[in-house]
Structure 1
Amino acid sequence: MHALSIAWDPSKGLDLGIFTLHYYSVMWIIAFVLGLQIMKRIYKKENQSDAALDSLFIYAVIGIMLGARLGHVLFYQRELISEDFFSIFLPFKFKGGFEFTGFMGLASHGAAIAMIISMYIYNKKVLHKTVLWILDRVVIPVASGAVFVRVGNFINSEIIGKPTGTDYGVVFKQLGEDFARHPAQLYEAGSYIFVFLALWYFYWKTEKSEQEGFLFGLFLVLLWSIRFVVEFFKEPQGDEYLTIGTLNTGQLLSIPFVLIGLYFMFAHKPKAKTA
Protein backbone atom coordinates (compact mmCIF):
# COMPACT_ATOMS: atom_id res chain seq x y z
CA MET A 1 0.00 0.00 0.00
CA HIS A 2 1.21 3.49 -0.87
CA ALA A 3 0.39 6.69 0.93
CA LEU A 4 -1.45 8.07 -2.09
CA SER A 5 -3.83 5.12 -2.42
CA ILE A 6 -6.87 4.23 -0.33
CA ALA A 7 -7.61 0.64 0.68
CA TRP A 8 -11.35 0.09 0.26
CA ASP A 9 -12.81 -2.93 2.03
CA PRO A 10 -16.23 -2.12 3.56
CA SER A 11 -18.84 -4.60 4.70
CA LYS A 12 -21.53 -5.40 2.14
CA GLY A 13 -24.40 -4.33 4.35
CA LEU A 14 -26.31 -4.66 7.60
CA ASP A 15 -26.84 -8.20 8.88
CA LEU A 16 -30.51 -8.34 9.89
CA GLY A 17 -30.45 -12.04 10.72
CA ILE A 18 -32.91 -13.20 8.07
CA PHE A 19 -30.96 -11.47 5.31
CA THR A 20 -28.31 -8.82 4.75
CA LEU A 21 -29.58 -5.36 3.82
CA HIS A 22 -26.99 -4.27 1.28
CA TYR A 23 -25.78 -0.69 1.44
CA TYR A 24 -26.46 -0.47 -2.29
CA SER A 25 -30.14 -1.13 -1.61
CA VAL A 26 -30.04 1.49 1.15
CA MET A 27 -28.64 4.02 -1.35
CA TRP A 28 -31.54 3.35 -3.71
CA ILE A 29 -34.03 3.80 -0.86
CA ILE A 30 -32.40 7.11 0.09
CA ALA A 31 -32.51 8.19 -3.56
CA PHE A 32 -36.25 7.55 -3.84
CA VAL A 33 -37.14 9.07 -0.45
CA LEU A 34 -35.08 12.21 -1.12
CA GLY A 35 -36.54 12.41 -4.60
CA LEU A 36 -40.05 12.29 -3.15
CA GLN A 37 -39.24 15.21 -0.85
CA ILE A 38 -37.84 17.25 -3.74
CA MET A 39 -40.91 16.58 -5.88
CA LYS A 40 -43.17 17.40 -2.95
CA ARG A 41 -41.66 20.89 -2.85
CA ILE A 42 -41.94 21.24 -6.64
CA TYR A 43 -45.56 20.03 -6.68
CA LYS A 44 -46.44 22.48 -3.93
CA LYS A 45 -45.05 25.31 -6.06
CA GLU A 46 -46.99 24.03 -9.07
CA ASN A 47 -50.24 23.60 -7.08
CA GLN A 48 -50.40 19.87 -7.75
CA SER A 49 -52.26 17.52 -5.40
CA ASP A 50 -50.79 15.04 -2.92
CA ALA A 51 -52.66 12.29 -4.76
CA ALA A 52 -50.85 13.17 -7.98
CA LEU A 53 -47.55 13.09 -6.08
CA ASP A 54 -48.28 9.66 -4.59
CA SER A 55 -49.07 8.30 -8.05
CA LEU A 56 -45.89 9.84 -9.44
CA PHE A 57 -43.82 8.06 -6.80
CA ILE A 58 -45.35 4.68 -7.67
CA TYR A 59 -44.89 5.15 -11.43
CA ALA A 60 -41.30 6.36 -10.94
CA VAL A 61 -40.21 3.52 -8.64
CA ILE A 62 -41.71 0.75 -10.78
CA GLY A 63 -40.62 2.27 -14.07
CA ILE A 64 -37.04 3.14 -13.10
CA MET A 65 -36.30 -0.11 -11.28
CA LEU A 66 -37.82 -2.31 -13.99
CA GLY A 67 -36.13 -0.36 -16.77
CA ALA A 68 -32.76 -0.35 -15.01
CA ARG A 69 -32.90 -4.12 -14.55
CA LEU A 70 -34.04 -4.89 -18.09
CA GLY A 71 -31.48 -2.45 -19.47
CA HIS A 72 -28.66 -4.24 -17.68
CA VAL A 73 -29.79 -7.63 -18.93
CA LEU A 74 -30.25 -6.50 -22.55
CA PHE A 75 -27.11 -4.36 -22.75
CA TYR A 76 -24.67 -6.33 -20.59
CA GLN A 77 -25.91 -9.73 -19.36
CA ARG A 78 -28.21 -11.36 -21.89
CA GLU A 79 -27.24 -14.84 -20.75
CA LEU A 80 -29.57 -14.41 -17.74
CA ILE A 81 -32.56 -14.77 -20.08
CA SER A 82 -31.73 -18.43 -20.63
CA GLU A 83 -29.64 -19.25 -17.54
CA ASP A 84 -31.53 -17.61 -14.64
CA PHE A 85 -34.65 -15.96 -16.05
CA PHE A 86 -36.53 -15.26 -12.80
CA SER A 87 -33.53 -13.47 -11.29
CA ILE A 88 -34.16 -10.73 -13.86
CA PHE A 89 -37.32 -9.63 -12.05
CA LEU A 90 -36.84 -10.91 -8.50
CA PRO A 91 -34.24 -9.88 -5.87
CA PHE A 92 -32.93 -13.45 -5.77
CA LYS A 93 -30.57 -15.60 -7.76
CA PHE A 94 -31.45 -19.24 -8.38
CA LYS A 95 -28.51 -20.49 -10.43
CA GLY A 96 -25.96 -22.20 -8.20
CA GLY A 97 -28.26 -22.12 -5.18
CA PHE A 98 -30.99 -19.83 -3.90
CA GLU A 99 -29.68 -16.49 -2.56
CA PHE A 100 -31.20 -13.10 -1.69
CA THR A 101 -29.28 -10.52 -3.72
CA GLY A 102 -31.34 -7.33 -3.33
CA PHE A 103 -30.99 -4.66 -6.00
CA MET A 104 -28.17 -5.55 -8.39
CA GLY A 105 -27.35 -5.43 -12.08
CA LEU A 106 -29.03 -2.12 -12.93
CA ALA A 107 -28.25 -0.02 -16.01
CA SER A 108 -28.79 3.75 -16.05
CA HIS A 109 -29.57 3.79 -19.79
CA GLY A 110 -32.44 1.38 -19.24
CA ALA A 111 -33.62 3.44 -16.27
CA ALA A 112 -33.65 6.60 -18.39
CA ILE A 113 -35.69 5.02 -21.17
CA ALA A 114 -38.15 3.52 -18.68
CA MET A 115 -38.44 6.84 -16.84
CA ILE A 116 -39.55 8.56 -20.04
CA ILE A 117 -42.08 5.81 -20.80
CA SER A 118 -43.45 5.70 -17.24
CA MET A 119 -43.78 9.50 -17.15
CA TYR A 120 -45.67 9.39 -20.46
CA ILE A 121 -48.13 6.88 -18.98
CA TYR A 122 -48.34 8.82 -15.70
CA ASN A 123 -49.10 12.06 -17.51
CA LYS A 124 -51.74 10.43 -19.68
CA LYS A 125 -53.53 8.68 -16.82
CA VAL A 126 -53.01 11.11 -13.90
CA LEU A 127 -51.52 14.52 -14.65
CA HIS A 128 -53.09 15.47 -18.00
CA LYS A 129 -50.55 18.16 -18.87
CA THR A 130 -47.73 17.38 -21.31
CA VAL A 131 -45.12 14.68 -20.89
CA LEU A 132 -42.39 17.33 -21.16
CA TRP A 133 -43.93 19.26 -18.27
CA ILE A 134 -43.39 16.35 -15.91
CA LEU A 135 -40.03 15.37 -17.43
CA ASP A 136 -38.73 18.93 -16.92
CA ARG A 137 -39.43 18.56 -13.22
CA VAL A 138 -38.79 14.91 -12.45
CA VAL A 139 -35.22 15.07 -13.79
CA ILE A 140 -34.27 17.20 -10.77
CA PRO A 141 -34.78 14.41 -8.19
CA VAL A 142 -33.49 11.85 -10.69
CA ALA A 143 -30.18 13.73 -10.83
CA SER A 144 -29.94 13.74 -7.03
CA GLY A 145 -30.77 10.04 -6.94
CA ALA A 146 -28.00 9.25 -9.42
CA VAL A 147 -25.48 10.55 -6.86
CA PHE A 148 -26.53 7.97 -4.27
CA VAL A 149 -26.70 5.11 -6.77
CA ARG A 150 -23.07 5.68 -7.77
CA VAL A 151 -22.03 5.90 -4.11
CA GLY A 152 -23.76 2.54 -3.68
CA ASN A 153 -21.72 1.15 -6.58
CA PHE A 154 -18.55 2.38 -4.87
CA ILE A 155 -19.52 0.70 -1.58
CA ASN A 156 -20.16 -2.51 -3.52
CA SER A 157 -16.79 -2.29 -5.30
CA GLU A 158 -18.58 -2.55 -8.65
CA ILE A 159 -18.50 -0.57 -11.90
CA ILE A 160 -14.83 -0.17 -11.10
CA GLY A 161 -12.35 2.08 -12.83
CA LYS A 162 -9.28 1.09 -14.78
CA PRO A 163 -5.89 0.80 -13.04
CA THR A 164 -4.29 4.20 -12.63
CA GLY A 165 -0.80 2.90 -13.25
CA THR A 166 0.38 5.09 -10.38
CA ASP A 167 0.23 5.15 -6.58
CA TYR A 168 -2.88 7.33 -6.76
CA GLY A 169 -6.32 5.73 -6.57
CA VAL A 170 -8.40 3.20 -4.67
CA VAL A 171 -7.40 -0.40 -3.95
CA PHE A 172 -10.56 -2.52 -4.01
CA LYS A 173 -9.62 -5.16 -1.45
CA GLN A 174 -12.89 -7.08 -1.92
CA LEU A 175 -11.70 -7.92 -5.42
CA GLY A 176 -8.48 -9.39 -4.04
CA GLU A 177 -6.38 -6.66 -5.61
CA ASP A 178 -3.32 -4.78 -4.40
CA PHE A 179 -3.12 -2.05 -7.05
CA ALA A 180 -4.87 1.29 -7.38
CA ARG A 181 -7.81 1.95 -9.69
CA HIS A 182 -9.68 5.09 -10.68
CA PRO A 183 -12.67 5.58 -8.33
CA ALA A 184 -14.87 6.03 -11.41
CA GLN A 185 -18.05 5.68 -9.32
CA LEU A 186 -17.04 8.73 -7.26
CA TYR A 187 -16.10 10.68 -10.39
CA GLU A 188 -19.67 10.20 -11.56
CA ALA A 189 -21.29 10.81 -8.17
CA GLY A 190 -19.43 14.10 -7.73
CA SER A 191 -20.30 15.21 -11.26
CA TYR A 192 -23.97 14.37 -10.77
CA ILE A 193 -24.07 16.73 -7.79
CA PHE A 194 -23.23 19.48 -10.27
CA VAL A 195 -26.03 18.27 -12.60
CA PHE A 196 -28.54 18.39 -9.74
CA LEU A 197 -27.43 21.89 -8.66
CA ALA A 198 -27.61 23.18 -12.24
CA LEU A 199 -31.16 21.85 -12.71
CA TRP A 200 -32.20 23.16 -9.30
CA TYR A 201 -30.83 26.62 -10.14
CA PHE A 202 -32.50 26.84 -13.56
CA TYR A 203 -35.84 25.67 -12.15
CA TRP A 204 -36.01 27.92 -9.09
CA LYS A 205 -33.96 30.96 -10.13
CA THR A 206 -34.70 31.43 -13.83
CA GLU A 207 -37.64 31.34 -16.23
CA LYS A 208 -36.28 28.26 -18.00
CA SER A 209 -38.88 26.07 -16.29
CA GLU A 210 -41.40 27.79 -18.55
CA GLN A 211 -39.48 26.77 -21.69
CA GLU A 212 -40.96 23.34 -22.28
CA GLY A 213 -38.29 20.68 -22.67
CA PHE A 214 -35.31 22.85 -21.67
CA LEU A 215 -34.65 21.28 -18.25
CA PHE A 216 -35.19 17.78 -19.60
CA GLY A 217 -32.76 18.54 -22.41
CA LEU A 218 -30.21 20.06 -20.04
CA PHE A 219 -30.40 16.95 -17.87
CA LEU A 220 -29.77 14.67 -20.85
CA VAL A 221 -26.85 16.73 -22.14
CA LEU A 222 -25.09 17.10 -18.80
CA LEU A 223 -25.63 13.64 -17.36
CA TRP A 224 -24.85 11.66 -20.48
CA SER A 225 -21.87 13.83 -21.42
CA ILE A 226 -20.46 13.07 -17.97
CA ARG A 227 -21.21 9.38 -18.46
CA PHE A 228 -19.46 9.43 -21.86
CA VAL A 229 -16.29 10.93 -20.40
CA VAL A 230 -16.15 8.79 -17.26
CA GLU A 231 -16.49 5.64 -19.39
CA PHE A 232 -12.89 6.21 -20.51
CA PHE A 233 -11.84 5.47 -16.92
CA LYS A 234 -14.08 2.40 -16.41
CA GLU A 235 -13.56 -1.28 -16.90
CA PRO A 236 -16.15 -3.02 -19.14
CA GLN A 237 -19.29 -3.85 -17.14
CA GLY A 238 -20.01 -7.10 -18.91
CA ASP A 239 -20.19 -8.34 -22.47
CA GLU A 240 -19.79 -5.29 -24.71
CA TYR A 241 -22.50 -5.88 -27.28
CA LEU A 242 -21.97 -2.45 -28.85
CA THR A 243 -18.51 -1.15 -29.72
CA ILE A 244 -17.14 1.15 -32.40
CA GLY A 245 -13.40 1.70 -32.34
CA THR A 246 -12.46 2.64 -28.78
CA LEU A 247 -16.03 3.58 -27.82
CA ASN A 248 -17.81 1.08 -25.57
CA THR A 249 -21.47 0.23 -25.03
CA GLY A 250 -22.02 2.88 -22.36
CA GLN A 251 -20.58 5.61 -24.56
CA LEU A 252 -22.48 4.62 -27.70
CA LEU A 253 -25.75 4.49 -25.74
CA SER A 254 -25.02 7.93 -24.28
CA ILE A 255 -24.61 9.74 -27.62
CA PRO A 256 -28.31 9.60 -28.64
CA PHE A 257 -29.35 10.95 -25.22
CA VAL A 258 -27.01 13.95 -25.63
CA LEU A 259 -28.31 14.67 -29.14
CA ILE A 260 -31.92 14.42 -27.98
CA GLY A 261 -31.09 16.77 -25.10
CA LEU A 262 -29.58 19.35 -27.45
CA TYR A 263 -32.72 19.19 -29.57
CA PHE A 264 -35.01 19.90 -26.62
CA MET A 265 -32.78 22.71 -25.35
CA PHE A 266 -32.38 24.60 -28.61
CA ALA A 267 -34.69 23.35 -31.37
CA HIS A 268 -37.91 22.08 -29.81
CA LYS A 269 -40.98 24.23 -30.41
CA PRO A 270 -44.02 23.40 -28.25
CA LYS A 271 -47.22 22.77 -30.15
CA ALA A 272 -49.61 25.69 -30.13
CA LYS A 273 -52.49 25.18 -27.72
CA THR A 274 -55.88 24.90 -29.36
CA ALA A 275 -58.97 26.38 -27.86
Structure 2
Amino acid sequence: MPFPNIDPVALAIGPIAIRWYALGYLFGVGLGAGYGYLLLANSRLWHKGQLPFKAADIWDFAFWTMLSIVLGGRLGYVLFYNLPFYLENPAQILNTLDGGMSYHGGMLGLMLAAIVFTRSKQGNWLSALDLIASVSTIGIFLVRIANFINAELYGAPTTLPWGVIFPTDPEQLPRHPSQLYEAVLEGLLLFLIIRVFTHVFYSLRRPGMVAGVFGIGYGLSRIAVEFVRLPDAHIGYLFGGWLTMGMLLSLPLVLAGIGLVIYAATRSQSALRA
Protein backbone atom coordinates (compact mmCIF):
# COMPACT_ATOMS: atom_id res chain seq x y z
CA MET A 1 0.00 0.00 0.00
CA PRO A 2 1.52 3.38 -0.96
CA PHE A 3 2.02 5.99 1.71
CA PRO A 4 -0.73 8.65 1.67
CA ASN A 5 0.53 11.99 0.43
CA ILE A 6 0.22 14.01 3.65
CA ASP A 7 2.49 17.00 4.16
CA PRO A 8 4.08 16.88 7.65
CA VAL A 9 3.65 20.67 7.74
CA ALA A 10 0.02 21.39 8.55
CA LEU A 11 0.27 25.16 8.07
CA ALA A 12 3.02 27.47 6.85
CA ILE A 13 2.91 31.24 7.30
CA GLY A 14 6.03 32.74 5.76
CA PRO A 15 9.05 31.24 7.55
CA ILE A 16 6.84 29.81 10.31
CA ALA A 17 5.88 26.17 9.80
CA ILE A 18 3.39 24.43 12.07
CA ARG A 19 3.77 20.67 11.90
CA TRP A 20 1.18 17.99 12.60
CA TYR A 21 3.55 16.60 15.24
CA ALA A 22 3.39 19.82 17.25
CA LEU A 23 -0.36 20.01 16.79
CA GLY A 24 -0.64 16.45 18.11
CA TYR A 25 0.91 17.55 21.40
CA LEU A 26 -1.05 20.81 21.50
CA PHE A 27 -4.45 19.25 20.83
CA GLY A 28 -3.59 16.27 23.00
CA VAL A 29 -3.05 18.55 26.00
CA GLY A 30 -6.03 20.75 25.15
CA LEU A 31 -8.52 17.92 24.62
CA GLY A 32 -7.07 16.04 27.58
CA ALA A 33 -7.58 19.08 29.80
CA GLY A 34 -11.16 19.41 28.59
CA TYR A 35 -11.89 15.76 29.30
CA GLY A 36 -10.12 16.06 32.65
CA TYR A 37 -12.37 18.99 33.55
CA LEU A 38 -15.44 16.84 32.90
CA LEU A 39 -14.02 14.04 35.06
CA LEU A 40 -13.20 16.37 37.94
CA ALA A 41 -16.58 18.07 37.73
CA ASN A 42 -18.42 14.74 38.00
CA SER A 43 -18.53 14.23 41.76
CA ARG A 44 -20.10 10.75 41.39
CA LEU A 45 -16.83 9.40 40.03
CA TRP A 46 -14.68 10.28 43.03
CA HIS A 47 -14.61 9.21 46.65
CA LYS A 48 -15.26 12.12 48.99
CA GLY A 49 -12.08 14.09 49.68
CA GLN A 50 -9.98 12.28 47.07
CA LEU A 51 -10.01 14.86 44.26
CA PRO A 52 -6.49 15.79 43.16
CA PHE A 53 -7.57 19.42 42.68
CA LYS A 54 -10.61 21.45 41.67
CA ALA A 55 -11.95 21.18 38.14
CA ALA A 56 -11.14 24.85 37.42
CA ASP A 57 -7.46 24.19 38.22
CA ILE A 58 -7.10 21.85 35.24
CA TRP A 59 -6.33 24.79 32.95
CA ASP A 60 -3.38 25.83 35.11
CA PHE A 61 -2.22 22.24 35.16
CA ALA A 62 -2.41 22.11 31.35
CA PHE A 63 0.52 24.54 31.21
CA TRP A 64 2.47 22.32 33.61
CA THR A 65 1.55 19.36 31.42
CA MET A 66 2.94 20.80 28.20
CA LEU A 67 6.16 21.96 29.86
CA SER A 68 6.75 18.68 31.70
CA ILE A 69 6.08 16.52 28.64
CA VAL A 70 8.50 18.47 26.46
CA LEU A 71 11.26 18.65 29.10
CA GLY A 72 10.77 15.07 30.28
CA GLY A 73 10.48 13.70 26.77
CA ARG A 74 13.66 15.41 25.63
CA LEU A 75 15.70 14.50 28.71
CA GLY A 76 14.38 10.95 28.51
CA TYR A 77 15.58 10.65 24.93
CA VAL A 78 18.99 12.04 25.87
CA LEU A 79 19.39 9.64 28.82
CA PHE A 80 17.76 6.49 27.44
CA TYR A 81 18.50 6.55 23.73
CA ASN A 82 21.65 8.52 22.84
CA LEU A 83 23.57 9.53 25.98
CA PRO A 84 27.12 9.04 24.56
CA PHE A 85 26.39 11.41 21.67
CA TYR A 86 24.99 14.14 23.93
CA LEU A 87 27.84 13.81 26.40
CA GLU A 88 30.16 14.62 23.51
CA ASN A 89 27.82 17.30 22.11
CA PRO A 90 26.04 18.89 25.11
CA ALA A 91 24.92 21.90 23.07
CA GLN A 92 22.69 19.53 21.06
CA ILE A 93 20.63 18.60 24.11
CA LEU A 94 18.39 21.64 23.58
CA ASN A 95 18.16 21.09 19.83
CA THR A 96 14.75 19.45 19.50
CA LEU A 97 14.75 19.88 15.72
CA ASP A 98 16.25 16.38 15.43
CA GLY A 99 12.94 14.99 16.68
CA GLY A 100 14.44 13.15 19.65
CA MET A 101 11.63 12.66 22.19
CA SER A 102 11.00 9.74 24.54
CA TYR A 103 7.48 8.81 25.54
CA HIS A 104 8.69 7.22 28.77
CA GLY A 105 10.64 10.37 29.66
CA GLY A 106 7.63 12.54 28.94
CA MET A 107 5.47 10.30 31.10
CA LEU A 108 7.89 10.52 34.02
CA GLY A 109 8.01 14.30 33.65
CA LEU A 110 4.21 14.48 33.60
CA MET A 111 3.90 12.26 36.67
CA LEU A 112 6.34 14.43 38.61
CA ALA A 113 4.51 17.61 37.55
CA ALA A 114 1.16 16.10 38.58
CA ILE A 115 2.48 15.14 42.02
CA VAL A 116 4.06 18.56 42.67
CA PHE A 117 1.02 20.48 41.37
CA THR A 118 -1.42 18.35 43.37
CA ARG A 119 0.52 18.65 46.59
CA SER A 120 0.51 22.43 46.15
CA LYS A 121 -3.29 22.19 46.08
CA GLN A 122 -3.39 19.86 49.12
CA GLY A 123 -4.92 17.13 46.94
CA ASN A 124 -4.43 13.38 46.68
CA TRP A 125 -1.43 12.71 44.44
CA LEU A 126 -2.48 9.14 43.64
CA SER A 127 -5.76 10.51 42.33
CA ALA A 128 -3.72 12.94 40.21
CA LEU A 129 -1.98 9.97 38.59
CA ASP A 130 -5.40 8.43 37.98
CA LEU A 131 -6.51 11.63 36.30
CA ILE A 132 -3.58 11.87 33.89
CA ALA A 133 -3.94 8.15 33.15
CA SER A 134 -7.57 8.78 32.20
CA VAL A 135 -6.78 11.58 29.75
CA SER A 136 -3.28 10.89 28.38
CA THR A 137 -4.49 8.27 25.89
CA ILE A 138 -5.97 11.15 23.87
CA GLY A 139 -2.54 12.69 23.36
CA ILE A 140 -0.94 9.31 22.69
CA PHE A 141 -3.44 8.66 19.89
CA LEU A 142 -2.86 12.04 18.22
CA VAL A 143 0.94 11.96 18.47
CA ARG A 144 1.13 8.42 17.04
CA ILE A 145 -0.98 9.58 14.09
CA ALA A 146 1.51 12.43 13.68
CA ASN A 147 4.37 9.90 13.74
CA PHE A 148 2.67 8.14 10.83
CA ILE A 149 2.30 11.41 8.91
CA ASN A 150 6.02 12.07 9.52
CA ALA A 151 6.81 8.60 8.12
CA GLU A 152 8.90 7.80 11.21
CA LEU A 153 9.06 4.96 13.74
CA TYR A 154 7.77 2.47 11.17
CA GLY A 155 7.97 -1.28 11.51
CA ALA A 156 9.71 -4.28 10.02
CA PRO A 157 9.01 -5.51 6.47
CA THR A 158 5.73 -7.38 6.06
CA THR A 159 3.75 -9.21 3.38
CA LEU A 160 0.42 -8.30 4.98
CA PRO A 161 -1.97 -6.37 2.71
CA TRP A 162 -1.86 -3.25 4.89
CA GLY A 163 1.91 -2.94 4.72
CA VAL A 164 2.94 0.63 3.89
CA ILE A 165 5.82 1.81 1.73
CA PHE A 166 7.15 4.84 3.61
CA PRO A 167 8.91 7.58 1.59
CA THR A 168 11.67 7.81 4.22
CA ASP A 169 12.51 4.09 3.91
CA PRO A 170 15.72 3.69 1.87
CA GLU A 171 14.75 0.11 0.98
CA GLN A 172 11.22 1.03 -0.13
CA LEU A 173 9.69 -2.15 1.28
CA PRO A 174 6.14 -2.65 2.57
CA ARG A 175 6.39 -2.29 6.36
CA HIS A 176 4.20 -2.62 9.41
CA PRO A 177 2.53 0.77 10.14
CA SER A 178 3.56 0.37 13.77
CA GLN A 179 2.59 3.98 14.53
CA LEU A 180 -1.03 3.12 13.72
CA TYR A 181 -0.83 -0.07 15.79
CA GLU A 182 0.22 2.06 18.76
CA ALA A 183 -2.44 4.68 18.06
CA VAL A 184 -5.12 1.97 18.20
CA LEU A 185 -3.75 -0.04 21.15
CA GLU A 186 -2.21 2.64 23.39
CA GLY A 187 -4.64 5.36 22.39
CA LEU A 188 -8.12 4.30 21.31
CA LEU A 189 -8.43 0.84 22.92
CA LEU A 190 -6.79 1.85 26.19
CA PHE A 191 -9.03 4.95 26.38
CA LEU A 192 -12.11 2.73 26.10
CA ILE A 193 -10.82 0.28 28.71
CA ILE A 194 -10.06 3.07 31.17
CA ARG A 195 -13.45 4.64 30.43
CA VAL A 196 -15.07 1.41 31.62
CA PHE A 197 -13.01 1.51 34.82
CA THR A 198 -13.84 5.17 35.52
CA HIS A 199 -17.54 5.18 34.61
CA VAL A 200 -18.70 1.57 35.13
CA PHE A 201 -16.50 0.30 37.95
CA TYR A 202 -16.03 3.80 39.50
CA SER A 203 -12.36 3.02 39.98
CA LEU A 204 -11.45 6.66 40.55
CA ARG A 205 -12.84 6.11 44.05
CA ARG A 206 -9.84 3.88 44.73
CA PRO A 207 -6.76 6.08 44.22
CA GLY A 208 -4.09 4.36 42.16
CA MET A 209 -6.37 1.85 40.40
CA VAL A 210 -6.77 3.71 37.09
CA ALA A 211 -3.08 4.64 37.00
CA GLY A 212 -2.27 0.96 37.50
CA VAL A 213 -4.59 -0.10 34.68
CA PHE A 214 -2.95 2.45 32.41
CA GLY A 215 0.54 1.23 33.31
CA ILE A 216 -0.38 -2.38 32.55
CA GLY A 217 -2.29 -1.53 29.37
CA TYR A 218 0.26 0.84 27.91
CA GLY A 219 3.24 -1.31 28.87
CA LEU A 220 1.82 -4.51 27.35
CA SER A 221 0.66 -2.70 24.20
CA ARG A 222 4.06 -1.09 23.68
CA ILE A 223 5.91 -4.36 24.25
CA ALA A 224 3.64 -6.15 21.76
CA VAL A 225 4.18 -3.50 19.05
CA GLU A 226 7.94 -3.50 19.66
CA PHE A 227 8.07 -7.00 18.15
CA VAL A 228 7.27 -5.49 14.73
CA ARG A 229 8.56 -1.93 15.19
CA LEU A 230 12.12 -1.26 14.11
CA PRO A 231 14.41 -0.17 16.96
CA ASP A 232 16.41 3.04 16.74
CA ALA A 233 19.21 2.48 14.24
CA HIS A 234 21.96 3.66 16.61
CA ILE A 235 20.77 1.27 19.36
CA GLY A 236 19.43 -1.78 17.53
CA TYR A 237 18.40 -4.87 19.43
CA LEU A 238 19.81 -5.22 22.92
CA PHE A 239 22.06 -8.05 24.04
CA GLY A 240 22.24 -9.31 20.46
CA GLY A 241 18.70 -10.65 20.54
CA TRP A 242 15.13 -9.39 20.06
CA LEU A 243 14.90 -7.11 23.09
CA THR A 244 14.47 -3.39 22.38
CA MET A 245 14.87 -0.29 24.51
CA GLY A 246 11.12 0.29 24.26
CA MET A 247 10.48 -3.15 25.78
CA LEU A 248 13.05 -2.58 28.50
CA LEU A 249 11.50 0.75 29.51
CA SER A 250 7.94 -0.60 29.37
CA LEU A 251 8.47 -3.64 31.60
CA PRO A 252 8.86 -1.57 34.83
CA LEU A 253 5.69 0.27 33.85
CA VAL A 254 3.78 -3.01 33.73
CA LEU A 255 5.18 -4.12 37.08
CA ALA A 256 4.42 -0.76 38.70
CA GLY A 257 0.91 -0.93 37.25
CA ILE A 258 0.32 -4.35 38.76
CA GLY A 259 1.57 -3.06 42.11
CA LEU A 260 -0.77 -0.06 41.99
CA VAL A 261 -3.79 -2.20 41.09
CA ILE A 262 -3.08 -4.60 43.97
CA TYR A 263 -2.57 -1.69 46.38
CA ALA A 264 -5.76 0.08 45.30
CA ALA A 265 -7.82 -3.10 45.38
CA THR A 266 -6.70 -4.21 48.83
CA ARG A 267 -6.53 -0.97 50.77
CA SER A 268 -9.14 -0.72 53.54
CA GLN A 269 -12.15 1.57 53.65
CA SER A 270 -10.52 3.44 56.53
CA ALA A 271 -7.58 4.21 54.25
CA LEU A 272 -9.97 5.50 51.61
CA ARG A 273 -11.47 7.91 54.15
CA ALA A 274 -8.07 9.15 55.32
TM range (shorter): 0.7 to 0.9
In the superposition, the TM-score normalised over structure 2's length comes to 0.86
- Percent same amino acid at aligned positions? 27
User: How far did 1:207 drift?
Assistant: 2.3
Q: Is the 8 A contact 1:76 1:240 kept in 2?
A: yes
Quick one: distance in 2 between partners of 1:238 and 1:118?
A: 31
Gaps of 5+ in 2: 44-50
Distance 1:30 1:19, change over 3 A: same
Measured on the aligned residues, the alpha-carbon RMSD in Å equals 2.4
Distance 1:174 1:10, change over 3 A: farther
1:77 to 68, 75, 82: 82
Matched, 1:174 2:168: yes
Give 1:4-153 correspondences, 5 Å limit.
Answer: 5-13=1-9, 14-46=11-43, 49=54, 51-82=56-87, 84-92=89-97, 104-126=99-121, 128-153=122-147
Q: Is the 8 A contact 1:160 1:184 kept in 2?
A: yes
User: How far did 1:263 drift?
Assistant: 0.9
Q: Is the 8 A contact 2:8 2:150 kept in 1?
A: yes
Q: What are the Cα deviations for residues 64-99 of structure 1, in whole angstroms up to 9, with x where unaligned?
A: 11111111121112245245534433545xxxxxxx
Name segments (4+ residues, structure 1) moved above 6 Å: none
Q: Is the 8 A contact 2:208 2:263 kept in 1?
A: no
User: How far did 1:243 drift?
Assistant: 2.4
Q: Is the 8 A contact 1:12 1:155 kept in 2?
A: yes
Residue identity opposite 1:125 in structure 2: S
Give 1:263-274 correspondences, 5 Å limit.
Answer: 263-268=259-264, 270=267, 272=271
Residue identity opposite 2:244 in structure 1: N
Quick one: distance in 2 between partners of 1:157 and 1:105?
A: 15
Matched, 1:236 2:231: yes
User: How far did 1:24 drift?
Assistant: 1.0
Q: What are the Cα deviations for residues 10-53 of structure 1, in whole angstroms up to 9, with x where unaligned?
A: 32203221132111111111111111111111122248545522
Residue identity opposite 2:247 in structure 1: Q
Tell me what 1:250 maps to.
246
Secondary structure of 1:105 counterpart: coil
1:212 to 182, 207, 210: 207
User: How far did 1:238 drift?
Assistant: 4.2
Secondary structure of 1:36 counterpart: helix
User: How far did 1:208 drift?
Assistant: 1.5
Number of aligned residue pairs: 260
Quick one: distance in 2 between partners of 1:203 and 1:145?
A: 18
Quick one: distance in 1 between partners of 2:220 and 2:56?
A: 35
Quick one: distance in 2 between partners of 1:125 and 1:52?
A: 11
Distance 1:167 1:205, change over 3 A: closer
Tell me what 1:162 maps to.
156
Secondary structure of 1:20 counterpart: strand
Residue identity opposite 1:228 in structure 2: I
Distance 1:166 1:217, change over 3 A: closer
2:193 to 188, 194, 198: 198
Quick one: distance in 1 between partners of 2:229 and 2:3?
A: 18
Q: Is the 8 A contact 1:63 1:115 kept in 2?
A: yes
User: How far did 1:205 drift?
Assistant: 2.3
Q: Is the 8 A contact 2:231 2:237 kept in 1?
A: no
Quick one: distance in 1 between partners of 2:218 and 2:175?
A: 23
Q: Is the 8 A contact 1:8 1:170 kept in 2?
A: no
Distance 1:79 1:156, change over 3 A: farther
Gaps of 5+ in 1: 93-100
Quick one: distance in 2 between partners of 1:116 and 1:252?
A: 19
Secondary structure of 1:188 counterpart: helix
Tell me what 2:47 maps to.
none
Quick one: distance in 1 between partners of 2:215 and 2:273?
A: 29
